[in-house]
Amino acid sequence: MRPILMKGHERPLTFLKYNRDGDLLFSCAKDHTPTVWYADNGDRLGTYRGHNGAVWSCDVSRHSTRLITGSADQTAKLWDVKTGKELFTFRFDAPARSVDLAIGDHLAVITTDSFMGNMPTAQVKRIAEDLQDQTEESALVISGITGRINRAVWGPGNRTIITAGEDATIRIWDSEVSTPSLHVVLFSHAGY
């Protein structure tokens, strides 16, 4: 295997994500512009322009038709992977730190940072098949965690949401209830 050098970002990289087939690589950076590359040769396919802050994370749908990004500009955006067109913007009162699509691509969990008196949250958004039906409404909001939520991902079967926090704790939350409940504290690095 020969090394491939992909150049195109102007600021430090923050996140990388392969699509399910492994032929596309998505990169996020502090330069506001998520980028998609051919994974086998490093050629840049295109960029997604619309964020006004560092882009912290991304996720791509199962069939590589949609991309979701989370940014310091207090938004998460849905994009058309092929055209680069911005499809929808979720607005928050704080920077969007991490994004993760559920199995089936009909839900996304988006974390927001503590900012200007707002506590960090993990919010579940429904992703509509038809964009005319898309709303910013949260289906579930997880709050009460002190310190930044660095990442949130879906657990097996979308039944749980797993959060990893700056407080050195991994938490597993029940995602199938209308009010979030802490299912279990899996592991804590507190004191180390």
pLDDT digits (tens, 9 = 90+) for 163-186: 998 888 888 898 877 666 666 676
- 105 within domain boundaries: yes
Say which DSSP state 13 is in.
E
Angle among Cα 128, 91, 137 to the nearest 5 degrees reads 45
Total-model pTM: 0.92
- 3 within domain boundaries: no
Q: How many CB atoms lie within 10 A of CB 96?
A: 28
6-21 pLDDT, tens digit per residue, is 888 889 999 999 999 9
112-151 pLDDT, tens digit per residue, is 998 888 899 999 999 999 999 999 999 999 998 888 999 9
- 56 within domain boundaries: yes
pLDDT exceeds cutoff 70 at 1: no
- 113 within domain boundaries: yes
How far apart CA 58 and CA 76 sit, in angstroms, is 9
- 116 within domain boundaries: yes
Output the domain CATH number for residue 63: 2.130.10.10
pLDDT of residue 178: 61
Tokens 């974390």 sit on residue = 111
pLDDT of residue 46: 96
Exposure string (b/e) for 99-138, b if CB count within 10 Å is 16 or more? Answer: bbbbeebebbbbbbbbeeeeebbbbbbebeeeeeebeeeb
> How many Cα atoms within 13 Å fall on the side-chain side of residue 178?
0
- 81 within domain boundaries: yes
pLDDT of residue 116: 84
Using a pLDDT cut of 70, give the percent of the chain over it. Answer: 91
- Number of folded domains in the chain? 1
Domain boundaries, position 174: 13-188
- 8 within domain boundaries: no
